[in-house]
Structure 1
Amino acid sequence: MAAVNVRDVAALAGVSLGTVSNALNRPDRVSPSTLRRVHDAIDKLGFVRNDAARQLRAGRSRSIGLLVLDIGNPFFTDLAEGAEDRASEAGFAMLLGNSHGSAARETAHLALFEEQRVRGMLISPVAEIWPQVTRLRTRDIPTVLVDRAISDTSFSSVSVDDVAGGALAVEHLLSIGRRKIAFVGGPTKIRQVADRLEGASRALNSVPGATLEVLGTRALTVLEGRRIGELITARAPGARPDAVFAANDLLAVGVLQGLTMVSNLRVPDDIALIGYDDIAFASATVVPLTSIRQPSTLIGRTAVELLLAESENSADYEPQQVVFAPELVVRDSTALVVAEPVLAG
């Protein structure tokens, strides 16, 4: 049986092909009665328009590509939700890709999005991808970097000041009297990790006698955090840090497990612990987790707004670099323990 096409709809509705096209794409140009006849014909025939073919003819689609570092990280899930909500409000669909920290997967996703002729791309890059995004621009595909600051002001970006966030985390640990601090995170080729470590180092340099030990990880996962926590637990008491700053909350959750599941170590009494991102799960851990909050949903929404602005006004658009300030959220994992007064008998 042959597929139903636009000509069949036009014939049944008693209108021209142009009227059917307007009913599908510009309904404001069609009278209500004619629009009703066209849609009645569509329903009766079971017509489904070929959007892929239409987009190829137009050269543009109603979709936006979003490429994130790790969709398993709730931070990126929340970011994607914010981006998808804003895109949907503007009549766009969101195509999601997950590089999983792999430059090869990142390149493959970028190529696939380009083949789909997306209206634009939002990218949280693994490393340096300027040749790729420059090439996308020459093909009229605007790109906005998300969760990543950029020195090239010819591109738009939405990020959080991670250097300030790293400093905020360590300043808090220093304020509660901790002096042997371990930074847990990696790989440092990820710009966000490097920036948070830089901020931590700057804050530590202002306090004489304080030390910062870097404990690298292969990934930003709970399992890697647990591995580091177990390594710390295996040390002699005097060789352990008295505080840990984890580069994200997943690592911090793993460190918490490694410190407390197979030992008598207490958080925060023996080792204070702070994470980064303030994912929803951070407040629900066995010891509620202090964290540096990022406005993840707002980052996603803002990135789509910048992308739409550039797409709709490409000739006159001035790229923007939006940088949000991080926020310290204090919970039990760094809470100061105040001894109760001893009452005289």
Structure 2
Amino acid sequence: MFNSREIFVASIRDVAKAAGVSLGTVSNAINRPEVLAPLTLRKVQKVIEEMGFVPNASARNLRAGRNRVIGLVVPDISNPFFTALAMGVNDAAFAAKYVVILCNTDESTDKESQYLEVLSAQNVEGILITPARETIRALAKVVEKGIRLALVDRPALGLQACSVAVNDSYGGSLALTHLHELGHRKILLLTGSEDIPQVADRNTGIRESMKEISANQLPQIMELRLDSMSASNAYDAMMKKIESGVDFTGIICGNDLIALGAIRALREKNIAVPEDVSVIGYDDIDFAGSANVPLTSISQPAYELGFAAAELIISECENPERHVHQRIEFQPRLVVRSSTAPTKSHRANLRIS
């Protein structure tokens, strides 16, 4: 049997009765202690302590039109990049006493739209989103409803919103320059649809870099588009590509999962990485360095992206009148490991020179 006294939870009415004051006085002692006389304040605080009364923060937030909840919408939480990003968001939110609702769209614009509607109906204070595709109109509708919005891993072009992104154009340039300097002149671009803004930006960086290369050194770029930027999809696509002939010496991949899937297919077909084909990924996820062939990758700070974005949206929630939308851009960097190497002809030229 439970003893009723052991599970007694004091209410604000219990505190008021025990202290011999009104409900309003107890409320002031909690929320506006400066308006009470010192003796009255001490008396109420003593009763609160003795009774173990815990003020109902949820009720106070509701009365103030606040719930301290933000939504996070990502295209693929199974991708370690977005897992790290979500951890950054969660840590920043936890420090500010906010709760995060995580929504995974599976790269579906339909799911994305439904999640935006659900989060709006839940009256979240703000939404952080990495759009699955080019969905500016849908996001603009969210802003029009008065919901605070911040874009993560994507600049907020044309939107009244904060954004935290990576200079993906520069990232694409880094990848191409690295393979070109290793002597690669036939390069396969293995990535997703250009409907994905990050993919389009990286491809822009590749094209811009080619303008800086002399005509006699210009690489040939072949493109293979994937429906989904997953390791399994990359593996299947690469197996088919190998069957039709390996006419490339280097591969630039849309992310590290694609790179790992491609390497698996190459090795199963006895094509050595990097001796026969060099592979470069993108994201530099946690286990990129501990893969069977440690992966050269374009590193972008996923955790820091999430943390910074959460800080921006929380700042806007806390001080909406004084908030100024910000655009934060991180710079990617090249991390060289064992999956890229000079071509055989380039190695021979180096020996001769």
Structure-2-length-normalised TM-score: 0.84
Shifted more, 265-274 versus 198-207: the winner is 198-207
Report SS of the residue matched to 2:187: strand
5+ long unaligned stretches in structure 2: none
How many Å separate the matches in 2 of 1:29 and 1:143?
37
How many Å separate the matches in 2 of 1:316 and 1:182?
48
Query: Hey, what does 2:277 align to over in structure 1?
Result: 271
Alignment equivalent of 2:306, drawn from 297, 300, 306: 300
Cα pair distance change 1:332/1:66, threshold 3 Å = same
Contact 2:134/2:196, CA 8 A, preserved across alignment? no
Query: Hey, what does 1:66 align to over in structure 2?
Result: 72
Cα pair distance change 1:54/1:34, threshold 3 Å = closer
Q: Deviations over 1:146-181 (max 9, x none)?
A: 100132263211100111101110110001001110
5+ long unaligned stretches in structure 1: none
RMSD of aligned C-alpha atoms? 2.9
Contact 1:184/1:244, CA 8 A, preserved across alignment? yes
Task: State the 1:240 CA deviation.
Answer: 2.6
Alignment equivalent of 2:251, drawn from 244, 249, 254: 244
Query: Hey, what does 1:200 align to over in structure 2?
Result: 206
What letter is aligned with 2:312?
Answer: L
Contact 2:15/2:47, CA 8 A, preserved across alignment? no
- Give 1:1-345 correspondences, 5 Å limit: 6-8=12-14, 10-11=16-17, 16-18=22-24, 20-21=26-27, 34-35=44-45, 37-38=47-48, 40-42=50-52, 49=56, 51=58, 54-152=60-158, 154-205=160-211, 206-208=213-215, 209-236=218-245, 239-260=246-267, 262-336=268-342
What letter is aligned with 1:227?
Answer: D
How many Å separate the matches in 2 of 1:334 and 1:13?
74
How many Å separate the matches in 1 of 2:322 and 2:225?
45
Report SS of the residue matched to 1:215: strand
Task: State the 1:127 CA deviation.
Answer: 2.5
Contact 2:184/2:342, CA 8 A, preserved across alignment? no
How many Å separate the matches in 1 of 2:283 and 2:43?
53
How many Å separate the matches in 2 of 1:72 and 1:27?
48
Question: Would you say how many aligned residue pairs link Structure 1 and Structure 2?
Answer: 333
Contact 1:153/1:321, CA 8 A, preserved across alignment? no
Task: State the 1:92 CA deviation.
Answer: 1.2
How many Å separate the matches in 1 of 2:128 and 2:325?
14
Contact 2:271/2:277, CA 8 A, preserved across alignment? yes
What letter is aligned with 1:137?
Answer: V
Percent identity of equivalent pairs: 38
Report SS of the residue matched to 1:105: helix
What letter is aligned with 1:219?
Answer: S
Contact 1:243/1:271, CA 8 A, preserved across alignment? yes
How many Å separate the matches in 2 of 1:64 and 1:111?
14
Report SS of the residue matched to 2:329: strand
Task: State the 1:112 CA deviation.
Answer: 1.8
Task: State the 1:318 CA deviation.
Answer: 2.5
